[in-house]
Structure 1
């Protein structure tokens, strides 16, 4: 192999690792968001875990974050809570940063 091939393989391996870490971080972000939303809705611990898992699964509906946002916003509305869109999106960003840091730290 040439040095170029080695570099290409290293780049591809780093790209795959970055993609895997981002996938894990988004799943963790969604779980954290689900736990936060469950607390707001007054769910008990077992129900909160189940709800958080449902939020994680909601992310597989469509590419992007809108499916997760719609799930949480719709559930807030269904439970009679008035949580602003900006607050949900801010929490999504906040939990995204926390999740990325946790994944990078190996947590």
Structure 2
């Protein structure tokens, strides 16, 4: 029975680790998206850092990416940047790949 218990603990540990890595990738991606959007809006370095943090925090409003997409579309449009939702979704895909590379490279 201990082999089964050991295997179960190993799976639980792996699941917890995988979830933590997924969370960190999404958080890093959102920071990168915030920096990308800040560049589009021509914000200063300090404003860019604050905006990137705001994008990360926006992701906690609801499950999924819709809250981040709404924030980016709204803020970019308000800043006079012509952008649509498909362009934001493409940026999300690109920044997800970049975030994964950055995290995997640092481990």
TM-score normalised by the chain length of structure 2: 0.95
1:79 Cα deviation from its structure 2 partner: 0.9
> How many Å separate the matches in 2 of 1:68 and 1:48?
16
Q: 1:15-54 counterparts in 2 under 5 A? A: 15-54=15-54
- Partner residue, 1:11: 11
| Equivalent position SS for 2:69 | helix
In the comparison of the two structures, how many residue pairs are matched?
107
Structure 2 unpaired stretches of 5+: none
> How many Å separate the matches in 2 of 1:14 and 1:51?
33
1:42 Cα deviation from its structure 2 partner: 0.5
1:71 Cα deviation from its structure 2 partner: 0.4
Structure 1 unpaired stretches of 5+: none
1:9 Cα deviation from its structure 2 partner: 0.5
> How many Å separate the matches in 2 of 1:18 and 1:87?
29
- For 1:48-74, what per-residue CA distance to the aligned partner results, in whole angstroms no more than 9, with x for missing partners? 000000000000000100000000000
Deviates more, 1:84-93 or 1:32-41: 84-93
Q: 1:1-107 counterparts in 2 under 5 A? A: 2-106=2-106
C-alpha RMSD over aligned residues: 1.1
> How many Å separate the matches in 2 of 1:4 and 1:64?
35
